[in-house]
Amino acid sequence: MVTDVAMKVSNPKDPSLARQLIFLVDSGAIYSVVPRRILTEIGVVPDSVEWFSLADLTQIERDVGQAAFTHRGRTRVLPVMFGEEGDATLLGVMTLEALGLVLDPVRREIRPMAMRL
């Protein structure tokens, strides 16, 4: 199932530095992935390096920083993986949940999540 969503990604220290992107929603990914070139253009810098497992169990190392994600007026600052050549632009579960969104697999769209304590 493939679901795309438009979302703004910006520099949390200077929200005027932003880009509108089309993300592939990946309910199996924890972090969102944005191409390194775009994160660099908006002034987001890596603050750590993390190891990730791909679906085929391959281990990869990627830089991680903090970016602001905005969808329908709601903004949250979250970890973001610096995508390398060949990496898809992905919207991970952490970003979805922080923005109060959930993937509806039947309609293949994101919708508001029922917020619970």
- Reported as a single tens digit per residue, the pLDDT across 83-102 is 999 999 999 999 999 999 88
The residues with which 21 forms a beta bridge, in sequence order, are 7
H or E stretch at 37: helix 36-41
Domain 4-112 falls under CATH 2.40.70.10: yes
pLDDT of residue 106: 73
Q: What predicted TM-score, i.e. pTM, was given to this entire model?
A: 0.90
The pLDDT score that the predictor gives to residue 92 is: 93
Q: What is the pLDDT of residues 35-69, one digit of tens each?
A: 999 999 999 999 999 998 887 888 999 999 999 99
Q: What are the tens digits of pLDDT across the range 105-117?
A: 777 777 787 766 6
Euclidean distance between CA atoms 87 and 66, whole angstroms: 18
